[in-house]
Amino acid sequence: MEPRHKYSLPPFLCLSVFFFIAKAEASVKQRPFNNKVSAAFVFGDSTVDPGNNNYVETLFRSNFPPYGKDFKDQTPTGRFTNGNLSTDLVASYIGIKEYLPPYLDPTLSIEELMTGVSFASAGSGFDPLTPQISSVVSIPKQLEYFKEYKKRLQSAIGKKRMEDIINKAVFLVSAGTNDFVINYFTLPIRRKDYTVSAYQQFILQNVKRLVQDLGDEGARRIAVTGLPPMGCLPVVITLNSQNAILERGCIEKYSRVGMEYNQMLQNEVNSMRGRLAHLSAKIFYIDIFTPLVDMIQGVGKQDFDEVSHGCCGSGYLEAGFLCNPGSYVCVDASKYVFFDSIHPTEITYTKLFIANRPVVDSMIQD
């Protein structure tokens, strides 16, 4: 096991991390900007929140070290990882911008807004109860912010230009893990009213509602992300193992629920394609389950040293404010699948992007 250290890196390690990040980004930045895609808009949870929660009264924040330790200038932005999110990589690959900013940042210029923002909020989910638990921005509220965004843009550049930007943009949706891991399996409220199957259907209905609403608001290219292997999240392993230190295998029950839900979601995506056809809209499914399982199981020599605990602290439970400037942190996060007990490292996000690059290519085609 790699030694763990306080948050600080010697100069030679900073240099090696810099070259690693540069190499990873080079594998993503392959497409020059073109006029096929105008902007990127994101809705969801902490997997795609670049810092909206910095402007929300909640404990679910990450705008402090060691988060962002491999980001530009080692800046903690509110991203729950050590560097870029997958949505940053998508925006960069398409050629829109290097990083996708949070919509709630009051300093954003009209020029910055025109090329896209993220409305996502860490701790959110498709179940209306989920964001209430952590006092974060619900997905219906994120949609309201998008409508507000459109009005702001229309006032600045006119209705026709605003509509053209929306019609030529890509829309990315990533949420659901909090609904199952925190809301359904950890708390008793939803389990009193829903079987697992009924809850899966309940979440799917809310996904369908969001996609339809986005289509009604002008979205023409929408990608929906499935669930990860939830039983492989370090925090889930820790809380569901008799000996969490010695027994670090994935908890099959949770991963199976995610796998079943993903199949149902794929079926719904296929069905929604027909229902959105009258809008000339395209909808895509993004699979993160399979590539994450491959990384964890070491398929294809993925080169990870640690797959069952995170880089921050013990890696068993720490996330958010429990992963903080006083935490011990691994030297090289690229050897870890997870940065904290829940969220992937930048290299994991990079591999997930590469695995789904054909979907992104399909999205940005005419």
Annotated catalytic residues are 46, 340, 343
Which residues are within 8 A (CB) of 76 and not within 5 positions of it... i.e. 6 or more apart? 62, 63, 64, 65, 66, 67, 68, 69
CB contact burial 215-239 (16+ within 10 A = b; e otherwise): beebbbbbbbbbbbbbbbbbbbbbb
Query: Please, which residues bridge with residue 330 across strands?
Result: 4
Q: Where are the alpha helices (DSSP H) in the chain?
A: 11-28, 86-94, 110-114, 129-134, 139-157, 159-167, 177-178, 189-193, 196-216, 234-239, 252-275, 289-297, 346-355, 357-363
Comparing C-alpha atoms, which of 254, 340, 366, 337 is closest to residue 66? 340
Question: Are the C-beta atoms of residues 150 and 163 closer than 8 Å to each other?
Answer: no
165 CB burial (10 A radius; 0-12, 13-18, 19+): buried
Dist CA 331 CA 319 (whole Å): 18
Largest CA distance in the chain: 61
**Measured distance CA(231)–CA(257) in Å, rounded:** 9
